[in-house]
Amino acid sequence: MTSSTASNTSTVSAAPAPAAVTAGGPLAGRVAVVTGATSGIGAATARRLALGGASVALLGRREDRLRELAGELRPAGAGEVLPVAADLADPGAIAAAAASVRAALGRVDLVVANAGVMLGAPFETADTAEWDRMLDVNLRGLLHTGRVFADDLLAAARSGPADLVHVGSVAGHSLYPDWSVYSATKAAVAHLTRNLRAELGPRDVRVHNVEPGVTVTELGADMRDADMRTALDRMRTDLRPLSADDIAQAIAFSVAAPAHVNIADLVVVPVQQG
Residue among 72, 3, 11 nearest 34 (CA): 3
167 contacts 213 by C-beta, under 8 angstroms: no
154 contacts 205 by C-beta, under 8 angstroms: yes
Exposure string of 26-43, with b = 16+ CB inside 10 Å and e = fewer, is bbeebbbbbbbbbbbbbb
Q: Residue 142 to residues 3, 37, 171, 181, 185: CA-CA distances in angstroms?
A: 12, 14, 17, 16, 11
The three-state (H, E, C) secondary structure of 118-182, written as one string: CCCCCCCCCCHHHHHHHHHHHHHHHHHHHHHCHHHHHHHCCCCCCEEEEECCHHHCCCCCCCHHH
| 4: DSSP letter | B
Q: Which of 131, 182, 223, 269 is catalytic?
A: 182
273 contacts 174 by C-beta, under 8 angstroms: no
Round to whole Å and give the CA distance between 163 and 157: 9
| 115: DSSP letter | B
Q: What is the dihedral angle through the alpha carbons of 137, 131, 168, 147, rounded to the nearest 10 degrees?
A: -40
* Catalytic residue check, 176: no
Residue 240: phi and psi, rounded to 5, are: -85, 105
CA 60, 168, 155 angle in degrees (round to 5)? 70
Active site residues: 182
